[in-house]
Structure 1
Amino acid sequence: MRAPRPLLGMTAIIAGLALTATGCDPGGDDRAGDTASQVPAAPAGPDRRPAIASAMSTRAARNPQVKVDLVGLNRFGPRHLVVQLRVTNSGADTLNVGEQLKDEGSDEDGSVPDGIALIDTAARRLLEPYRRTDGKGCLCTPEKEDFGAYVDPGESQTWFAVLPAPSGHPKTATVYTPLARPFVNVPISDAPPTAPPSDALPSPDATPVRTIAHPIDARAEALDGTTEIHDDGDQVKVSLSSDVLFRLNQTALTPRAEALLRRTAAQIDASPGRTVRIEGHADSSGTDSINDPLSARRADTVRAKLSTLVTRTGVTFDAKGYGSHRPLWSNDTEEGRRRNRRVTVVFQRPPQAGPTVPASSPGRSGPVTAKSDDGKTTFSARVTGVHALGGGYGALTYEITNTGTAEGAVPGLDSDEEWMQLKYWAAANVALVDRSAGMRYPAARYVLGTGSRSALCLCTGTAGIRIGMASLFPREKKEFWAIVKLPPGATTDVSLTSFPRITGVPVT
C-alpha cells in the first residue's frame, strides 16, 4: 500500500447487499453527537462559494457535459460528513441533473442525489447517504415539486448529502459521484458546514436513520489463469483453476498444484480467522450426477492438502462441492467454462502491509493506439494518473481520443469477463498489471447482493442514461476512470481494453 497524497482535481461514477443498521455509522451510534437538528438554509440565490475541486462530466448520448464543483466537505458532528456539489449547465438545453446523481444500485423512483458517496478504503466500503427509517428517502437534497432537479442553460444548482464519516477518522476523503471521476484525497474541513441556498442540512443525530455501506470487491487475477482472488475487506476468496489442480475427471492433485496450494496456505497462515471454507465448482458440461460428487471430492482433496501445509494451529477446514450450480462466468464460451472449473478457498482477510513510497519520476503515460471493431476509425489512449487512495486502492484515470474521421465505439471497453455479476455495463475492461508477480488488477466493484447482476463497477458507466459513453465523434476526447487494487511498487503497467499495454506508469 501507499501513503495517499491529496489530489484536488478528480471526480466519478461508481450495484443490493447493503450493510444497514438503524442509527449507526461504520463505527458507532448515529444518534450519539452534539449537532443541532439542522443547519439553516442559506438565502435563496446563486451559490458563489469557491470550488474545493472541479471536474467535467463525460458526455453520453443523452447527457452533454456539465461542470461539477465540490463546494463543501465538512464534518457534521464527530461521526458524519456533509458533501456539497454545485453543478453548472454550460449547454443549450435544460438538463435533469437530479437523475444523473441518483444511486445506480437503487430501483427507487425520484431525482434525489442518493448516488453521492464516499469511498472508505480502510473498511473497503462504499458509504452512501443516510436513509431515513420512516421511508422518506435519504438525508440529502429533497426532491422538489417545482422541477428542482432540472438546471437551465447557464445556471447552477447545489446538491448535498449527509453520510457516515469513513473509518479511522481520516483527514481526507474520496468523494464518488455518478457524474464524473472521483474527487480524490480531498481534505476534510473541521469548520461547521454552511448550508446551500434554500436547503437546510438535517442532522442524523436528530433524525432516525440507517447506514448504507456496500462492500467493495477488489479483484486480482494471475496472468497465467491459475488463480483469481476476490477481496471485499472482510473475506478473501482464492479461486484455483481445477485444470491446474487436477487431471480431467480426476481427484488426485497434479505436480503443479503444490505451488498454488503452498501460496494459498501462506495467506491462511497470515489470516487471523479460525475457519477456512473450501468450495468445489464445475462447469455446465456433463450432468449433476457427475459434477456434484466430483466437485465435492476435489474440495475434500484440497482440504486435506491445505491442512498439512497450514502451520497455524486451531484452524478448522470445511469442504463442500457445488457442482455447476454457482457459476462466476458464462458457460457459453470455453474460457468461461474453464474459469468455472475451480476450487475456491475462503478465509478472513489477512492484515495488510504498510505504505510504500510513491514514484517521484514522471514515468510513462502513452499514448497508444487501437482501431475500432469495424476498422473505420482509430483511437489513442493516454493514462492521466494512478493515484493512491490508501487501504491498497488506487484511482486510475485515462483519456481516449478518436483520432479518425468517423464516429466509433472504443473496442472492448465494456467487455468485462465478469459481466454476469454486473447490474449494468461499464468501462470495466481495464486493469493494472504487475509483471514481476504475474498478476493483473481489474476495475473494482461494489456489491449489492448475491447472485448474478448483484454488483456495480467502480468505474465509468456506459449503460442507462450513460449509454453512448464509449462512443466518440471524430477528434472527440473523453475521460474515463476506475478504482483498482494497487500492486506493490512505485510504478505499474496499465492495460486499457484492446490498446497495447502501457508500461512503467508512476503511482502518485
Structure 2
Amino acid sequence: MGNRKRRQAGGAGARGRSLRLWVAGGAALGLALAGCSGGDDGGKASPAPSKGGGNGGGTSAKVLQSQPMAHADGPAHAELLALTPSANNTVTLRARIVNDGPQRIRLSQIFVDTGRQNQVAGLLGSGGLALVDGAGNKMYHPLTAGDGHCLCSDVNNVEVQPGKAQELYAVFPAPPVKNVMVWVPLAPPFTDVAIPSGSAGPAPGQTLDPGSAQLGRPVVRPLIGTSEGAAEAIDQDGNDTRVRLSADVLFALNKADLTPQADATLQKVAKQIDASRGPTVTIDGYTDNSGNDAINNPLSQRRAQAVEAKLKGLVTRQGVDFRSAGHGSADPVADNSSEEGRRKNRRVAVTFARPPEPAPPAAPPSAPPASGGALPVVASVRPNIKSPRELDTAANNLKFDVNAVHRDAGGLVTVNWTLTNMSDKVTAVAAGLGRPQSLEYSGPSTNGARLLDPAEKMRYWPVRNSEDSCLCTQLANRARGELKPKESVTYTDVYKVPASVTTVDVELPWFTQTIPLKGLTIK
C-alpha cells in the first residue's frame, strides 16, 4: 500500500509539472483556475453567472443550452458551456451547475459512475457525465489516467451555496459522429450538441492533460432499448437485435408445432433478418418454471428448432448460418411468481446483427428554454382517479405536464415531463413513479414512464446501458421525490423508437394506475 501511495504521489508531481507548462501555454485563452475547481476550493462554489455567461472565476463562456435539475436539495439548473475536441482523439465537456434555491445543494453521489466506483481508484467526481451516440447505440464515459483517476472535476463533498455556481469538466474518447447527446444526471439531456473543429485548451480546474497523461482503457457501453407488444418484445443494443417471441402465440400448450398465428410474426422477423448484414442468427428457446427440467429442456429445444426451420424457408438472404438451442427455465426475463411473468418467460428469442436504421426526418433542433423561464407544455392532465387505495387517489393532487417529445439527430426520443403539486400539503411522489415489478430487465432505479405506439401496439421503455442504468431521472439518486405545495419537478426519459413512428402516447406511472397523454407528435 505504501508503494502504491508513493507511486501516486510521484505521478501527481509529474502531472503538476505538466499542468503548469500546459496552463502557461494556454494562458492566452483567458482560462483561470481560481474558484472553479470541483473540490480544489474546499467545497466552495463560484458566484452564479451573469446573463453574459461568466462563472465568477475569471472565465467567460456562452451558455449553449440550459435545463432544470430535479435535485432533492432544491431548484437548480445545468448549463452546457462547451464541447470541443482535445488532444489524443478526445473531447472535453464543460458544464455548470447553478443553485437557484434558498439552500445549498450537494453534488456528491450524483456525479459518480456507479458501474466503476468500486473498480477503479479515484474514479469519483464527475463520472456520471456522459456523451451518447444514439445512431451507434453507445454511451461514452469520462476517461481515466493509468492510475485510475478520472479526467474530470472532483465534486466530492462540494456544496453549491444559494446563488452560486459550480463549473465541471470531463474528458471523453471522441465519438465517431458530429452530433451527440450530453447526459447530466438529474437534468434533461442536452440534445443535438455539435462537436466543432479545433482544439480545446485546459478547462478551469483541469489537472490532467489528455495529450501527455497515460490514459486508461476507454469505457464505452452499449445502449439497450426495449419495446414490448402482445406477440413479441424487442431488445436493441449497440450491435444486435433480439426479438423475443411469445411461445403462447407460436405454439399450443406443451407443444412444439407452430400455430397458424405464428406465420405473420415470423414473416416480420424474416424481413428484419434479410435487412441485417450479419452472417449468424441464433434461436434460443425458453420456458417458465412450471414443470421440471426433464420436460422443459427438450420442449424448449424442439420449439427453437421449429422456429429455425420456419425462418430458413422465409429468409431470402444467402449465407445466413442458423443456430438453435433450448434452455428450459433458465434466464427468466420476468418474475415467475405471476402469470404475466410466466407468460413473458415462455419465449423463443431470435438474435441477429442490428439492421441499419433509416435516418430520422431532418428537422432543426428546438431551442432550449432559457434559465428560469417557463417550460413549454405540449400536453397536460389532472387525474381523476377513483380507487379505494389512498395511494392511487393521491395522483389527483398532481398535474402531469409533458414539456417535450423530441427526436435528436441520433434517433433517440427524449420525453421531458413535469409534476406539479396542486394541493396545500406536501406530497411524496417518488414511490408512485416506480417501475412495475415484473419488468426484470430494467434497472431498479428507473421510473415507469413509457411510450405507446398506438398503431403497432408496441410499448417502449427507457433506454438503459449495459450496467442496467437507465437514461432517465434516477429516483434513488438525490432526485426530488417530495413536492411542497405548488412546487414542480421535471423528470426525463430517453427511448429508442423507430424513425417510422411519429406519434405516440406518453404513459406516466402512478402506483397501480397509468396516466395517459395521447396523440403526441415526436418533433
TM-score bracket for the superposition, by shorter chain length? 0.7 to 0.9
143 and 493 in structure 1: CA distance in 2 versus 1, 3 angstrom threshold = closer
Q: Report which stretch shifted further, 390-399 or 87-96.
A: 87-96
Question: Aligned partners of 2:145 and 2:123: how far apart in 1?
Answer: 15
- Kept in 2, the 8 Å contact 1:101–1:179? The answer is no
Please say if 1:187 is aligned against 2:202.
no
SS in 2 for 1:369: coil
Number of the residue aligned with 1:158: 167
**Residues 343-389 of structure 1: per-residue CA shift (max 9 Å, x gap):** 00000111112332559999952335255625245222121111112
Number of the residue aligned with 1:485: 496
Q: Alpha carbon RMSD of aligned pairs, Å?
A: 2.8
Please say if 1:83 is aligned against 2:83.
no
Q: Report which stretch shifted further, 152-161 or 177-186.
A: 152-161
Please say if 1:375 is aligned against 2:393.
yes
| Correspondence 1:232-247 to 2 at 5 A | 232-247=237-252
What displacement does 1:410 show?
A: 6.1
**Residues 288-324 of structure 1: per-residue CA shift (max 9 Å, x gap):** 2211111111111111111111111211111111111
| Correspondence 1:233-272 to 2 at 5 A | 233-272=238-277
208 and 230 in structure 1: CA distance in 2 versus 1, 3 angstrom threshold = same
Please say if 1:125 is aligned against 2:115.
no
Question: Aligned partners of 2:335 and 2:216: how far apart in 1?
Answer: 39
What displacement does 1:77 show?
A: 4.0
Gaps of at least 5 residues in structure 1 are 1-35, 449-454
What displacement does 1:207 show?
A: 2.6
Question: Aligned partners of 2:205 and 2:377: how far apart in 1?
Answer: 47
**Residues 407-457 of structure 1: per-residue CA shift (max 9 Å, x gap):** 142674222456433453222x22222222222222111112xxxxxx111
Please say if 1:398 is aligned against 2:398.
no
Larger radius of gyration: 2
288 and 180 in structure 1: CA distance in 2 versus 1, 3 angstrom threshold = same
**Residues 384-403 of structure 1: per-residue CA shift (max 9 Å, x gap):** 11111233311111112222
Number of the residue aligned with 1:8: none
**Residues 446-490 of structure 1: per-residue CA shift (max 9 Å, x gap):** 112xxxxxx111111011433xx4443332211111111224244
Question: Aligned partners of 1:37 and 1:235: how far apart in 2?
Answer: 46
Given residue 435 of structure 2, which amino acid in structure 1 is its aligned partner? S
Question: Aligned partners of 1:302 and 1:310: how far apart in 2?
Answer: 12
What displacement does 1:283 show?
A: 1.0
Q: TM-score, normalised by structure 1?
A: 0.82
Number of the residue aligned with 2:404: 385
SS in 2 for 1:263: helix
What displacement does 1:260 show?
A: 0.7
Question: Aligned partners of 2:266 and 2:67: how far apart in 1?
Answer: 46
Number of the residue aligned with 1:42: 32
Please say if 1:316 is aligned against 2:321.
yes
192 and 357 in structure 1: CA distance in 2 versus 1, 3 angstrom threshold = closer
- Kept in 1, the 8 Å contact 2:430–2:475? The answer is no
Please say if 1:436 is aligned against 2:455.
yes
Structure with greater proportional helix content? 2
SS in 2 for 1:465: coil
What displacement does 1:94 show?
A: 4.2
Please say if 1:461 is aligned against 2:474.
yes
Question: Aligned partners of 2:459 and 2:212: how far apart in 1?
Answer: 43
Number of the residue aligned with 2:5: none
What displacement does 1:101 show?
A: 1.3
- Kept in 1, the 8 Å contact 2:88–2:211? The answer is no
Number of the residue aligned with 2:113: 103
Instruction: Considering Cα pairs closer than 8 Å and 6+ residues apart, tell me whether 1 or 2 has the greater RCO.
Output: 1
- Kept in 1, the 8 Å contact 2:117–2:124? The answer is no
Question: Aligned partners of 1:273 and 1:110: how far apart in 2?
Answer: 37
Q: Report which stretch shifted further, 379-388 or 250-259.
A: 379-388
494 and 262 in structure 1: CA distance in 2 versus 1, 3 angstrom threshold = same
- Kept in 1, the 8 Å contact 2:380–2:401? The answer is yes
Which of the numbers 119, 125, 139 marks the counterpart of 2:151?
139
**Residues 249-284 of structure 1: per-residue CA shift (max 9 Å, x gap):** 111111111111111111111111111100001111
Given residue 124 of structure 1, which amino acid in structure 2 is its aligned partner? N
Gaps of at least 5 residues in structure 2 are 1-19, 36-55, 367-375
Q: Report which stretch shifted further, 123-132 or 73-82.
A: 73-82
What displacement does 1:506 show?
A: 2.1
Q: Report which stretch shifted further, 76-85 or 255-264.
A: 76-85
Q: TM-score, normalised by structure 2?
A: 0.80
Given residue 183 of structure 1, which amino acid in structure 2 is its aligned partner? F
Number of the residue aligned with 1:288: 293
481 and 303 in structure 1: CA distance in 2 versus 1, 3 angstrom threshold = same
Number of the residue aligned with 2:344: 339
Question: Aligned partners of 1:236 and 1:252: how far apart in 2?
Answer: 25
Given residue 168 of structure 2, which amino acid in structure 1 is its aligned partner? W
328 and 37 in structure 1: CA distance in 2 versus 1, 3 angstrom threshold = farther
Question: Aligned partners of 2:249 and 2:481: how far apart in 1?
Answer: 36
SS in 1 for 2:264: helix
Given residue 34 of structure 2, which amino acid in structure 1 is its aligned partner? A
Number of the residue aligned with 2:225: 218
SS in 1 for 2:469: strand
Given residue 279 of structure 1, which amino acid in structure 2 is its aligned partner? D
Q: Report which stretch shifted further, 38-47 or 480-489.
A: 38-47
Question: Aligned partners of 2:458 and 2:439: how far apart in 1?
Answer: 20
**Residues 225-257 of structure 1: per-residue CA shift (max 9 Å, x gap):** 210000003100000001111111111111111
Question: Aligned partners of 1:386 and 1:66: how far apart in 2?
Answer: 22
Please say if 1:365 is aligned against 2:379.
yes
What displacement does 1:56 show?
A: 2.3
Number of the residue aligned with 2:63: 51
- Kept in 2, the 8 Å contact 1:359–1:490? The answer is no
154 and 410 in structure 1: CA distance in 2 versus 1, 3 angstrom threshold = closer
Please say if 1:275 is aligned against 2:280.
yes
SS in 2 for 1:375: helix
381 and 210 in structure 1: CA distance in 2 versus 1, 3 angstrom threshold = same
What displacement does 1:181 show?
A: 1.4
Given residue 209 of structure 1, which amino acid in structure 2 is its aligned partner? G
SS in 2 for 1:390: coil
Given residue 132 of structure 2, which amino acid in structure 1 is its aligned partner? I
Percent identical pairs in the alignment equals 33
- Kept in 2, the 8 Å contact 1:86–1:157? The answer is yes
Question: Aligned partners of 1:300 and 1:400: how far apart in 2?
Answer: 49
Number of the residue aligned with 2:429: 409
What displacement does 1:165 show?
A: 2.1
Question: Aligned partners of 1:370 and 1:189: how far apart in 2?
Answer: 49
- Kept in 2, the 8 Å contact 1:219–1:441? The answer is yes
What displacement does 1:38 show?
A: 4.7
